[in-house]
Amino acid sequence: MIGMSNTTESVGTEVAGVLTTPEQWRAFLERYGELYVKVRADEEELDDLLDDDQLEALDRGDRIEAWLGGAAAGEEALAASEERLGVRFPPSLRGFFLASDGWTHLDDDVDGVHPCGNVVWMRDSEAGGRVTDAYASIPGNEDDVQLVRRSLEIARGEDFWLLDPTDVGPDGEWAAYEFAPKYGDPSRYPSFFALLHSGYESMEEDADEDLD
């Protein structure tokens, strides 16, 4: 059911630093992949993500190297995507793509971060168009409709991850949103990194609970 939201919840504002270089992102994503396979992945996923030696290491509680992304995007591919969309990506997103051109497993109701060549204005995507039309048909959803129309879609599944080019911080980062259409409650983060990091923090909390 589509809900109406008069305010936008702001979360994830206390993130220590923003990752902007490929080297920083690579190190973080390696930790993310290792934590994901230990905390979130089910048996079927593990069989797809890990080889036999890694599965044995996981059973022993050893460290696992699990890369859940793609090869790094080159500067030419990144520039082509930016030219196609008519923007320059914010620093944390650029650094992410230069470390991994997309990401396939997230601690969230989205399928994964798009490769840079698949990033699209949400108003131009088929799913985004359906959401926009549905929300626009119900009075009181004007703010959400405007957010969708002006934002980039960087991830999609049951929910969407959006970046708003009109809401830019002093560090050049665009506000990022996790948007659940069936609830109508976009949650705001100060950057793409803060949004992705929120899932990592959630996995850390669950891992700590498992140790208690």
| 18-204 CATH | 3.40.1580.10
* SS percent in the chain: helix, strand, coil, step 5: 45, 15, 35
Average pLDDT over residues 81-107: 95
Specify the higher pLDDT residue, 185 or 13: 185
For residue 9, the model assigns a pLDDT of 46
Domain boundaries, the chain: 18-204
The angle, 0 to 180 degrees and rounded to 10, between the axes of the packed helices 142-150 and 126-136 is 160
Say what the pTM is.
Answer: 0.85
For residue 83, the model assigns a pLDDT of 98
State how far Cα 35 lies from the chain centre: 16
182, amino acid identity:
K
Whether residue 175 is predicted with pLDDT greater than 50 in this model: the reply is yes
Average pLDDT over residues 98-120: 92
> Contact, 167 vs 175, CB < 8 A?
yes
> Among the listed ranges 27-41, 69-83, 147-161, which one has the minimum average pLDDT value?
27-41
- What distance in Å separates the CA atoms of residue 29 and residue 22, rounded to the nearest whole number? 10
Tell me the C-alpha to C-alpha distance, in Å, between residue 149 and each of 24, 35, 81, 125, 183: 32, 35, 19, 10, 18
**Where residue 13 falls among pLDDT bands split at 50, 70, 90?**
very low
Report the mean per-residue pLDDT for the chain.
86
